[in-house]
């Protein structure tokens, strides 16, 4: 595989927020593409007949983690997309179809376990945005029910969350981060979202403990004292739970939303007081229930939100995606309401 130090560095840079716009990532992608084209590694290849296929897979995966415009990597992704599409063509996974299509694409049968079974970090990273919706749904259902988890990510039952303060918990969060790269991913991992909400503290933060430190995903800060650790853990988890409404408001940080998730009346009172003091509105506490602005069970004031109405008319996901943003009407509403919202 790509030398451990290289792959370790890529994971680290990605977790710190580096992107293809950064010069170090562009240079890394250029280097990895040379490995992809040669199907060899500087330290030499393993003797197995399918090792060049594995090198190609790893290299294409890492390129596509940062950019989906690389022709060499996309060619590899298209091969794997055809294999997986064939394997799930009959609603449920057909290993026979998988093996046959693999042989058609690569002119050899898979020999090593990392290719015989596709439920791995590499294939799943590579295939994001490459499958039609039907195939994507079927594949993710298969992946999540895989008894051995996801190879190179979390190799355990994916419906049995680990101890929250552990390295295993960090790996389990990695499952969510991987699945969320797919369009329908959010609907597949509600059990992971529930686990995260259950481990939120009373201040709306998360602490995975010092045991979660792995030198890759944690720490994000230079020093990992308690304050920085909580900040790092919360930052990573909030990116997973982020539930952007049409206006750009993050529902997962809204006090009304969090109060609903925890059924916490003290937080409902906080939200009630916010609307009373900010807008002079006296709303009964039993109305402070919201499961997100994009759901039917949203806070009553969100039903008439002009952002929602306009975005649906324009066929866009966020107000900020509009060429006219910010128009006068929205700018006024935004200044009065959204920028003064009751977020944690």
pLDDT, tens digit, for every residue of 31-64? Answer: 999 999 988 776 656 667 688 999 999 999 999 9
Same domain, 215 and 261: no
314-324 pLDDT per residue, tens: 888 888 788 88
40 found inside a domain: yes
**Distance between CA 102 and CA 120 in Å, rounded?**
16
Same domain, 140 and 9: yes
Q: Which residues contact 205 (CB under 8 A, 6 or more apart)?
A: 230, 231, 233, 234
- Identify the CA nearest to 292 among candidates 197, 161, 158, 206: 197
**Distance between CA 186 and CA 309 in Å, rounded?**
23
Same domain, 16 and 128: yes
Same domain, 39 and 124: yes
38 found inside a domain: yes
158 found inside a domain: no
Classify 343 as helix, strand or coil: strand
Q: What angle do CA 29, 58, 211 make, to 5 degrees?
A: 95
21 found inside a domain: yes
161 found inside a domain: no
Please state the pTM of the whole predicted model.
Answer: 0.84
Terminal-residue alpha carbon distance, the chain: 43
**Distance between CA 13 and CA 130 in Å, rounded?**
24
296 found inside a domain: yes
Angle between helices 133-144 and 71-87 (to 10 degrees): 70
Same domain, 46 and 137: yes
Q: Which of 85, 112, 144 is the last residue of a domain?
A: 144
Same domain, 27 and 71: yes
Residue 338: pLDDT over 60: no
**Distance between CA 118 and CA 80 in Å, rounded?**
10
Q: What does the radius of gyration of the chain's CA atoms come to, in whole angstroms?
A: 23
88-99 pLDDT per residue, tens: 999 899 999 999
**Distance between CA 219 and CA 229 in Å, rounded?**
7
Q: Which residues pair with 250 in a beta bridge?
A: 244
207-258 pLDDT per residue, tens: 999 999 988 888 888 888 999 999 999 999 999 998 878 877 788 888 888 8
Same domain, 60 and 115: yes
Residue written as token pair 């690569």: 106
Residue 3: pLDDT over 80: no
153 found inside a domain: no
- Number of domains into which the chain is organized: 3
Same domain, 292 and 181: no
Same domain, 202 and 295: no
Domain region containing 54: 4-144
Same domain, 263 and 326: yes
Residue 112: pLDDT over 60: yes
149 found inside a domain: no
User: Residue 326, preceding bond cis, omega within 30 degrees?
Assistant: yes
Instruction: Output 109-113 pairs: Cβ under 8 A, ≥24 positions apart.
Output: 110/50, 110/53, 111/48, 111/49, 111/50, 112/48, 112/50, 112/51, 112/54
Q: Which of 241, 272, 300 is the last residue of a domain?
A: 241
Q: Which of 241, 274, 299 is the last residue of a domain?
A: 241
- Identify the CA nearest to 10 among candidates 39, 43, 35, 40: 35
């Amino acid at each position: 595989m790509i030398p451990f130090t290289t792959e370790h560095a890529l994971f680290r840079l990605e977790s710190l927020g580096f992107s293809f716009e950064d010069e170090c990532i562009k240079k890394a992608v250029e280097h990895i593409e040379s490995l992809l084209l040669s199907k060899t590694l500087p330290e030499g290849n393993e003797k197995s007949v399918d090792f060049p296929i594995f090198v190609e897979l790893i290299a294409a995966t890492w390129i596509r983690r940062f950019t989906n415009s690389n022709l060499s990597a996309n060619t590899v992704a298209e091969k794997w997309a055809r294999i997986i599409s064939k394997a799930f063509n009959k609603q449920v996974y057909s290993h026979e179809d998988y093996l046959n299509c693999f042989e058609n694409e690569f002119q050899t049968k898979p020999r090593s376990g990392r290719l015989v079974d596709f439920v791995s970090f590499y294939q799943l990273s590579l295939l994001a945005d490459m499958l039609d919706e039907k195939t994507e749904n079927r594949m993710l259902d298969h992946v999540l029910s895989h008894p051995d988890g996801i190879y190179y990510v979390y190799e355990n039952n994916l419906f049995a969350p680990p101890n929250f303060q552990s390295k295993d918990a960090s790996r389990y969060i990695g499952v969510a981060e991987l699945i969320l790269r797919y369009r329908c991913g959010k609907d597949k991992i509600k059990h992971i979202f529930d686990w995260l909400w259950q481990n939120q503290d009373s201040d709306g933060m998360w602490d995975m403990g010092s045991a979660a430190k792995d030198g890759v995903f944690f720490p994000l800060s230079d020093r990992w004292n308690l304050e920085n650790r909580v900040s790092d853990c919360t930052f990573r988890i909030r990116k997973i739970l982020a539930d952007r409404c049409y206006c750009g408001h993050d529902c997962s940080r809204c006090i009304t939303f969090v109060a609903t998730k925890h059924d916490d009346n003290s937080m409902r009172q906080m939200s009630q007081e916010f609307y009373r003091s900010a807008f002079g509105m006296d709303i009964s506490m039993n109305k402070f229930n919201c499961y997100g602005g994009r759901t039917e069970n949203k806070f009553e004031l969100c039903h008439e939100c002009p952002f929602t109405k306009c975005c649906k008319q324009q066929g866009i996901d966020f107000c900020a995606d509009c060429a006219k943003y910010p128009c006068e009407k929205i700018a006024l509403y935004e200044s009065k309401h959204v920028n003064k919202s009751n977020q944690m």
